[in-house]
Copies of this chain bind each other. A is one copy, B any other.
Amino acid sequence: MKSRLDRIITLITDFGTADGYVGAMKGVILSINPRAVIVDISHDIQPQNILQAVHVLDSTHPYYPRDSIHVVVVDPGVGTDRKALVMRTRKAFFIAPDNGVLSHVDEQKLEAVAITNSRFWRKPVSATFHGRDIFAPVAAQLSLGTAIAEFGEPVSSLVVLPRSSPNVEEDGTIVGHVIHIDRFGNLITDVRRGLIPAGDIRVEMKGHSIKGLSGTYAEGNGLVALVGSDDSLEIGLRNGNAASFLNAALGDRIEIRLT
């Protein structure tokens, strides 16, 4: 068994790594708990793109060991009266601003507090860098075993971001939307596997029509539709970049019809 001293702290930020922001956070964490295992998930979230952070968090945290601590610092409202949160689910801990970035975490929530107890903060607290002065020390203290209730007052409701969801039209057509575009130009949609009808289907997007589902990106010619690693419908382009080819953007519409 892993002891408390080895707890994992993952980081998702929009800080990039050309400045010292991430490095400062890591230093603060290691100064408090030199045995913390810091895991870089992403520092390449687009500046202030909360939805991208949601996607990256949701496609990674389920794979981590029990009691891992996930820190998300994408925080356009830093220094304002937005709350800062520590949340505990059945499986893990989450530390983030209360701006919706945690609102799609599907695990059963057991406890959430607003970080109001300044005892654990670095001082003086910069109004522009809570990642270093609040989130990092709270994460490190949590990894040492400090109880979540020590960090502040319970909160009963969190800011919730609307979740993109597909519609089913009268004629049975499923209308989904692009919710993420990955590095390869694959278009990840909000249509989950369970919603895709059995039988012969046709997937239509931006004037292009794709016949049936492929098993892999390497199958078929040109555009392929498949169920991706998030268990959602994806559009890819064999040996190419579907997003560029289709000039696709977040929110773009995709239709699935039985043929």
Q: Which residues of A contact B (CB under 8 A)?
A: 2, 6, 8, 10, 12, 14-24, 26-28, 30-31, 34-35, 37-48, 52, 55-65, 68, 76-80, 126-129, 132-133, 180, 182-184, 215-219, 226, 228-229, 231, 234, 239, 241
Question: Chain copies in the assembly?
Answer: 3
A interface, over-half SS:
loop
Contacting residues, chain B, for A126 (C-beta < 8 A): 228-229, 231
Closest to A19 in B: B182
Do B47 and A217 touch across chains, with their CB atoms under 8 A apart?
Answer: no
Closest to A77 in B: B218
> Which among B16, B63, B132, B133 is the interface contact of A24 at CB below 8 angstroms?
B63
Contacting residues, chain B, for A42 (C-beta < 8 A): 17-20, 22-23
Contacting residues, chain B, for A15 (C-beta < 8 A): 183
Least Cβ–Cβ distance between A242 and chain B, in angstroms: 12
A226 to B62, CA, bound (A): 39
Do B38 and A39 touch across chains, with their CB atoms under 8 A apart?
Answer: yes
Contacting residues, chain B, for A78 (C-beta < 8 A): 216-218
Given the known A-B contacts A78-B216, A183-B15, are A39 and B23 also in contact in the complex, defined by CB atoms under 8 Å?
A: yes
Contacting residues, chain B, for A239 (C-beta < 8 A): 48, 76
